[in-house]
Amino acid sequence: MNDPVIDNYHTFSFSQRYRIVNPLTLVFRDLSLEQEYQANVAVNIAQQVRIALALAFVLYLNFAFLDYLLVPEKMWDLWGIRAAACGLFILLFAISFQSIFQRIHQQLVFVSSMVAGGGIFAMLLITDNQFNHYYYAGINLCITWTLFIIGLRFINALRTVVLIVVIYNCIAFFKALPFADIISNNFFLLSNAIIGIFAGYTIEQHSRWQFFQSLVIKNNSNKLHRAMIAASLDAVITIDESGAVIEFSEAAEHMFGYSRGEALGQSIGELIVPEAMRAQHESGFRRYSEKGEPRVLGQRLELQAKRKDNSEFPVELTLRQVDLIGRRLVTAYIRDLTAQRNAEQEIIRQREVLQRNEKLAAMGTLLAGISHELNNPLAIVVGQAQLLQETEQDARVLKRADKIRSAAERCATIINTFLAMARNQPPQCQPLDINQLVQRVLELLEPGLRSQHIELQLQFANDLPSVAADADQVHQVISNLIINAQQAMQDSPQKILRIESALDATAINNDQGHITIRIQDSGPGITPEVQGRIFEPFFTTKAPGKGTGLGLAVCSGIIEAHGGRLELEQHSGSGACFCISLPLRAA
Closest alpha carbon to 161 in 418, 210, 153: 153
Q: Do the Cβ atoms of 571 and 577 come closer than 8 Å?
A: yes
Which residue range forms the structural domain that includes residue 463? 427-587
pLDDT digits (tens, 9 = 90+) for 351-396: 877 776 676 666 666 666 666 677 778 778 877 778 777 787 777 8
509 in the same domain as 459:
yes
* Last residue within a domain, chosen from 305, 336, 367: 336
144-154 burial: b if 16+ Cβ within 10 Å, else e: bbbbebbbbbb
435 in the same domain as 353:
no
> Could you tell me the CATH number of the domain that includes residue 364?
1.10.287
Q: Do the Cβ atoms of 305 and 341 come closer than 8 Å?
A: no
Distance in angstroms (rounded) separating the CA atoms of residues 526 and 578: 11
Measured at the CA of 199, the angle between CA 171 and CA 104, to 5 degrees, comes to 70
240 in the same domain as 384:
no
146 in the same domain as 271:
no
> Could you tell me the CATH number of the domain that includes residue 297?
3.30.450.20
Q: What is the pTM of this model?
A: 0.41
256 in the same domain as 176:
no
297 in the same domain as 350:
no
More reliable by pLDDT, 455 or 14: 455
pLDDT digits (tens, 9 = 90+) for 509-529: 445 688 999 999 988 888 888
144 in the same domain as 14:
yes
12: pLDDT confidence band, cut at 50, 70 and 90? very low
Look at the chain and report how many structural domains it folds into. 4
463 in the same domain as 541:
yes
**Coil/strand/helix, residue 319:** strand
201 in the same domain as 151:
yes
CA torsion 413-417-423-425 (nearest 10°) is 100
199 in the same domain as 127:
yes
* Last residue within a domain, chosen from 425, 446, 471: 425
486 in the same domain as 400:
no
155 in the same domain as 56:
yes
* Last residue within a domain, chosen from 390, 425, 460: 425
pLDDT digits (tens, 9 = 90+) for 187-213: 888 888 888 888 878 888 888 887 887
Distance in angstroms (rounded) separating the CA atoms of residues 245 and 285: 14
> Could you tell me the CATH number of the domain that includes residue 454?
3.30.565.10
